[in-house]
């Protein structure tokens, strides 16, 4: 396993650690080579331990599921769809085609990192936030993940848009698109004040009258 950090001597004889993943330098705040090597070794060991944990998890999981090392998120989403029926299945089929999920489709589940999921969350809306949680929980329940990628408390909160009732003008525009006679008569009655009706928009299910 290659070391992530390398030692460099910078200006004023100060030693730096070069991160081979981010291509950035970090000062070790020392001019002593022996001390700098100790700091560098500690940084590499800190990175190596999580990687070793992932390697061990992969070995154990492969005994029960040989495909765990190559399973990608697209396969996880397709498996979820297979467990659904009716309208719920149609909803999932629509969700997994969302563009926001393109970033993780081809990623191996075991190799996915928190920034990968956060990128999906930033590019999606409320639905992506809700369904991505369900996708990750499904992978956990199926033992395709050894532990959560993002801890439960670190998930961004779901923030729904504020709801409001529609105005008479908005109702008239909606009703104008309805060709049936009953709706036309109702629209005229409302416009003339004969029927006091309060209108409310139901999210995701069109408009209804109360």
How does pLDDT run across 22-79, given as a tens digit for each residue? 888 989 989 999 999 988 888 887 777 666 666 666 666 666 667 777 899 999 999 9
With a pLDDT cut of 70, the percent of the chain lying above it is 76
Model's pTM, two decimal places? 0.54
CB 129 within 8 A of CB 121: yes
Q: Report the distance separating Cα 190 and Cα 158, nearest Å.
A: 37
- pLDDT at position 199 is 47
Q: Report the distance separating Cα 180 and Cα 172, nearest Å.
A: 14
Give me the residues of the chain with pLDDT under 70, please: 1, 49-65, 178-210
The CA-based angle 128-132-134, given to 5 degrees, is: 125
CB 123 within 8 A of CB 159: no
Alpha helices for the chain (secondary structure H): 33-64, 73-82, 86-95, 102-105, 114-123, 126-141, 168-176, 181-191
- pLDDT at position 45 is 78
Longest dimension (CA), the chain: 90
Q: How many CB atoms lie within 10 A of CB 187?
A: 17
């Amino acid at each position: 396993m290659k070391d992530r950090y390398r030692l460099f001597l910078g200006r004023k004889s100060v030693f730096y650690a070069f991160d081979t993943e981010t291509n950035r330098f970090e000062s070790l705040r020392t001019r002593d080579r022996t001390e700098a090597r100790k700091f560098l070794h500690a940084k590499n060991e800190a990175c190596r331990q999580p990687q070793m944990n992932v390697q061990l998890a992969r070995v154990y999981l492969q005994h029960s599921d040989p495909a765990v090392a190559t399973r990608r998120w697209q396969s996880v989403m397709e498996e979820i769809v297979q467990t659904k029926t009716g309208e719920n299945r149609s909803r999932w089929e629509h969700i997994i085609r969302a563009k926001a999920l393109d970033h993780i489709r081809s990623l191996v589940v075991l190799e996915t990192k928190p920034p990968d999921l956060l990128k999906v969350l930033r590019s999606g809306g409320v639905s992506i936030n809700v369904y991505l949680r369900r996708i990750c929980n499904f992978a956990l329940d199926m033992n395709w993940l050894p532990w959560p990628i993002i801890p439960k408390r670190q998930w961004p909160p779901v923030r729904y848009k504020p709801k409001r009732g529609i105005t008479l003008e908005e109702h008239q525009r909606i009703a104008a698109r309805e060709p049936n006679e009953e709706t036309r008569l109702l629209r005229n009655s409302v416009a003339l004040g004969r029927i006091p009706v309060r209108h409310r928009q139901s999210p995701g299910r069109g408009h209804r009258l109360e």
